[in-house]
């Protein structure tokens, strides 16, 4: 594979998975492969729409607007010192989603998914003040870490999901390094921040 094709593939993998899509993906897995699939289609679509709005659409719009106001390119926006405000905008959207879920008396294990995403973001922004960390890897690490207690709680075998997620995590980490967005250390730290944060939060809300 030529360098051009390698970079194109790396960009595709990196774009295909963004940290913001993790909560929606987790909800989609639960609503499809657990007993939550017995809920009415209308209810599931409303919840998915709410999650998508607060964790993907609103953060992306706010970050895009902020980037345009500053006249930054994507590469400029990815610099460590320029990531603080986008993190804060995303955290604000997550807090609003969590508040809405509590107001609607959603089950604790559903709120825990948003809470886990929020905690991962807070840890990432804290580390980012001194050192750039991979939020892409924090996202996929959080997905893997969150699937473990959820599979235990719902007594559902997610072995294949776990295997696919781990393989994709390797592809994603490699892609971020090929694109020179992160070092190996930033990739590894990002993954384990997401993994342990999501595992601990969701374990607490589902199994304790």
Could you tell me if residue 12 is inside a domain? Answer: no
pTM: 0.86
Domain assignment present for 9: no
Two tokens, residue 189: 């730290």
The verdict on residue 188 lying in a domain is yes
Our measurement of the distance from residue 189's CA atom to the centroid of its chain's CA atoms, rounded to an integer in Å, reads 15
Q: What is the pLDDT of residue 92?
A: 94
Q: How far is residue 23 from each of residues 65, 115, 180, 183, measured CA to CA in Å?
A: 23, 10, 26, 26
In sequence order, which ranges of 155-183 are alpha helices (DSSP H)?
A: 159-178
Task: State how many domains the chain has.
Answer: 1
Q: Is the pLDDT of residue 76 over 90?
A: no
For helices 84-103 and 58-70, give the axis angle rounded to 10 degrees. Answer: 160
pLDDT in tens, 89-108: 999 999 999 999 999 888 88
Assess if residue 144 is contained within a domain: yes
Among 208, 206, 193, which residue's Cα sits nearest to residue 142?
193
| Residue span of the structural domain in which 168 resides | 20-207
Q: Is the pLDDT of residue 207 over 70?
A: no
Dist CA 151 CA 157 (whole Å): 6
**37, part of any domain:** yes
CA atoms of 6 and 137, how far apart (whole Å): 20
% of the chain with per-residue pLDDT over 90: 43
**What is the per-residue pLDDT for 165?**
87
Inside any domain, residue 165 = yes
pLDDT digits (tens, 9 = 90+) for 151-175: 888 777 778 888 888 999 999 999 9
Rg (CA), the chain: 17
Is there a contact between 83 and 190 (Cβ–Cβ < 8 Å)?
A: no
203 belongs to a structural domain: yes
Give the distance between the most distant pair of CA atoms in the chain.
53
Q: Does residue 127 belong to any structural domain of this protein? A: yes
């Amino acid at each position: 594979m030529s360098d051009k094709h390698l970079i194109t593939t790396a960009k595709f993998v990196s774009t295909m998975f963004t940290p913001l899509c993790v909560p929606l993906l987790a909800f989609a897995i639960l609503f499809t492969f657990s007993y939550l699939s017995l809920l009415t289609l209308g209810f599931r679509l409303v919840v998915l729409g709410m999650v998508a709005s607060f964790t993907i659409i609103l953060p992306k719009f706010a970050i895009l607007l902020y980037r345009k106001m500053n006249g930054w390119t994507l590469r400029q926006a990815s610099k460590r010192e320029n990531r603080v405000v986008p993190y804060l905008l995303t955290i604000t959207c997550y807090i609003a989603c969590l508040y809405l879920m509590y107001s609607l008396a959603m089950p604790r294990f559903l709120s825990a998914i948003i809470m886990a995403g929020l905690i991962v973001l807070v840890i990432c922004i804290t580390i980012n003040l001194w050192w750039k960390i991979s939020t892409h890897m924090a996202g996929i690490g959080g997905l893997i870490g969150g699937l473990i207690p959820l599979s235990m709680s719902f007594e559902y075998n997610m072995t294949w999901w776990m295997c696919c997620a781990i393989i994709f995590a390797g592809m994603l980490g490699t892609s971020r390094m090929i694109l020179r967005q992160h070092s190996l250390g930033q990739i590894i730290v990002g993954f384990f921040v997401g993994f342990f944060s999501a595992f601990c939060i969701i374990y607490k809300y589902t199994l304790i």
